[in-house]
Amino acid sequence: MSKVGVPLRILCIHGYRQSSASFREKTGALRKLLKKQVELVYIDAPHTVPTSKESELQDKTASVGDNQSGWWFSDAQACSFDARQECESSFGLEQSLEAVRMAVKDLGPFDGILGFSQGAALVAMLCSLQEQKLDPTFNFRFAILVAGFRSGCAQHQYFYKGVNVRVPSLHVFGQDDKVIPEQMSRDLLHIFIGADILTHHGGHFVPAASAHKHIYQEFLKRFQ
């Protein structure tokens, strides 16, 4: 538990085709906005994403020229991921869960967890495991999910069916997000009890304008 005046420690889970370094850079405005309240700790996904100039141009969230990694692949053969893809099975999630376990053990403890895009989808899974008491490693007091969504993989549906996640959560989504449309993020709200929501008019990014500051702060104050 965070003491008064001590920043909350938050584990940060980057998006697909990103890295800990690029996500740290992309959340610079958020770190500045909340510098008195939080300490953000970033980790890398365990799976390297095959890259090409064409794929980098298509994916505007990619960190061009940087190490690009992902938490799982919806197409195991092609080692690719599409949030809208429905599949029977995926590849790589178990290794990613283990990577987060190791981060908690080696870098923790953490008060909360924050994820973006595929990282936010993973955060929802971690919260589900915590709620179902399927993994004692995860004991987050809160979660922040930016552009989150439900996995379309049949193998992952146990994270959602009949699950009511009581971990306090803040769900952030852009009304002009073309990568993860707002409705995909809203579809994830059903498993979270009493979720807080922050909407913004922009696209696929972590918003950190002064207009959003009080929403983040009011949410985080509950845990300080």
Active site residue 117: yes
Q: Which residues contact 6 (CB under 8 A, 6 or more apart)?
A: none
Name the catalytic one among 19, 117, 169, 185.
117
The DSSP code sequence of 41-78 is EEE--SEEPP--HHHHHH-TTS-TTS--EES-BSBTTT
What is the C-alpha to C-alpha distance for residues 198 and 171, in angstroms, rounded to an integer?
6
Rounded Cα distance, 200 and 207, in Å: 7
Q: What does R_g of the chain's alpha carbons equal in angstroms?
A: 16
Of 177, 185, 200, 212, which is the active-site residue? 177
DSSP-derived 3-state class of residue 114: strand
Indicate if 96 belongs to the active site.
Answer: no
204 belongs to the catalytic site? yes
Residues recorded for the chain: 224
Quote the tokens at residue 146. 């930016």
Enumerate the active-site residues.
117, 177, 204
